[in-house]
Amino acid sequence: LLMIKERIIKDLKKVLVKLGFPQVEPVLEHPAVEVHGDYSTNIALVLAQKEKKNPLGLAEKITTNYKLLTTEYMDHLEVAPPGFLNFWLKTDYLSRQSNEVIKQGDDYGKVVMPKSKSGVMAEFAHPNTHKAFHLGHLRNIILGEAIARILESQGIKVYRTNYQGDVGLHVAKCLWGVRLKIKNEKLKIENLKTIEEKVRFLSKAYIFGNKEYNDNPEARKEIEDLNIKIYQSDPEVKNLWETTRQWSLEYFDQIYKRLGTQFDRLYFESEMARPGKEIVRKYLKKGIFEESEGAIIFPGQKYGLHNRVF
């Protein structure tokens, strides 16, 4: 069955063909004010402007011919100045459609298409490990999951992926704070039992590390050195990094479950950094990237974008 909006457009096109307007695509919208009907179109105004005709007279012609069609959904159709067509749907038809939505559930509106090996990759969420999940991540997940479900409803295979920063200065700040808190407060991370306790501890450690990085030159130097060790998978820090990263991932999984989403593949910056550098070096030689002030950049300004450090 066609959706009601598509039914109205299909019938409207029949009328327009009859009046000598083939290959016209009417636009149907919900009026901002309820008294103007369930749907409204300005097609008479659009055509009248092109054909140099009276829009109100053209709207009346469209209405007269539309009423000749047999439609089980239409209660009445009216013309409103300067040439709008306003549609009211039958209450019992809407009730039947509501019952159909309840009956079909998540299958309502789905399109059955031949299965294909190819699909669409939807990348969303992107929370960085060792940091708190925030409202921006929530918005990102809702949008990404909504798009994924719309695509799936049309028979498209969707691969949900998630790119996460599990290395970088934010991780170094956090781990520096973790180490100092363990030392100064004589804590043992094994005593942190629940995921809530672990994430709360990580959050406090990051806030502490971030403050010291900004206020304390000695701490800044230690954090920057630690950052290099994390990138190099130094044995001195690797075990702590892996343990605390896992805490973040378990914490994120709890949120994903609450939101009804899941991912087919997690991509981490730690695994992408090395091959990413190789790609940049390769295309530096080919002129895609450029050296600038000791860094390698993509000169995006040439293409109406911005220069980006790689």
pLDDT one-digit tens code per residue, 55-105:
999 999 999 999 999 888 899 999 999 999 999 999 888 888 788 888 988
- pLDDT class of 221 with cuts at 50, 70, 90: very high
Least confident of 161-175, 179-193, 195-209, 229-243: 179-193
For range 193-215, the mean pLDDT: 94
Rounded CA-CA distance 101/108 in Å is 6
The answer on pLDDT for 144 being more than 50 is yes
Would you say 272 and 223 are in contact if contact means Cβ atoms under 8 Å apart? no
Model pLDDT, residue 23: 86
In this prediction the pTM is: 0.66
Which two three-digit tokens encode residue 34? 């309820």
Rounded CA-CA distance 15/10 in Å is 9
Rounded CA-CA distance 268/3 in Å is 42
- pLDDT class of 113 with cuts at 50, 70, 90: low
CB atoms within 10 A of CB 262: 11
CB atoms within 10 A of CB 16: 21
CA–CA distances in Å: residue 110 to residues 76, 104, 150, 154, 207? 29, 10, 9, 6, 47
pLDDT tens figures, 223-266 = 999 999 999 999 999 999 999 999 999 999 999 999 999 999 99
CA–CA distances in Å: residue 276 to residues 36, 282, 284? 56, 10, 12
The answer on pLDDT for 1 being more than 50 is no
Which residue in 63, 64, 88 sits closest to 74, CA to CA? 88
141 or 273: whose pLDDT is higher? 141
- pLDDT class of 154 with cuts at 50, 70, 90: confident
Q: Identify the burial level of 268 via C-beta atoms within 10 angstroms of its C-beta, where 0-12 means exposed, 13-18 middle and 19 or more buried.
A: middle
Contacts of 219 (CB under 8 A, 6+ apart): 176, 209, 212, 213
For range 189-205, the mean pLDDT: 91
The answer on pLDDT for 110 being more than 80 is no
Least confident of 8-12, 55-59, 77-81, 111-115: 111-115
